[in-house]
Amino acid sequence: MNAIVSTDNWVSDFVLTLWTPLFIAIFIAIVTYALWPRNKSKFDAAASMPLREE
């Protein structure tokens, strides 16, 4: 009985070689955008929106 996901499986190799680094790069880009000092005022304004009474 062979395992469905093995090191010989081309789908597994494709996912490990392409999608994993791609999603790591996307994650790093999102975190960088969120922590960039220029965006602090935008995020502070968005954080105070639920507290406003208009």
Which pLDDT score, from 0 to 100, does residue 32 have? 95
φ and ψ of 52, to 5 deg = -75, 140
How many CB atoms lie under 10 A from the CB of residue 12? Answer: 14
Q: Name the H helices within 1-54.
A: 10-14, 20-35, 40-47
**pLDDT tens profile 11-48:** 777 777 888 889 999 999 999 999 999 989 998 898 88
Which pLDDT score, from 0 to 100, does residue 6 have? 54
The pTM of the full predicted model, rounded to 2 decimals, is 0.60
Asked if the model's pLDDT at residue 5 lies above 70, the reply is no
Asked if the model's pLDDT at residue 2 lies above 90, the reply is no
Contacts of 5 by beta carbon, 8 Å cutoff, 6+ apart: 11, 12
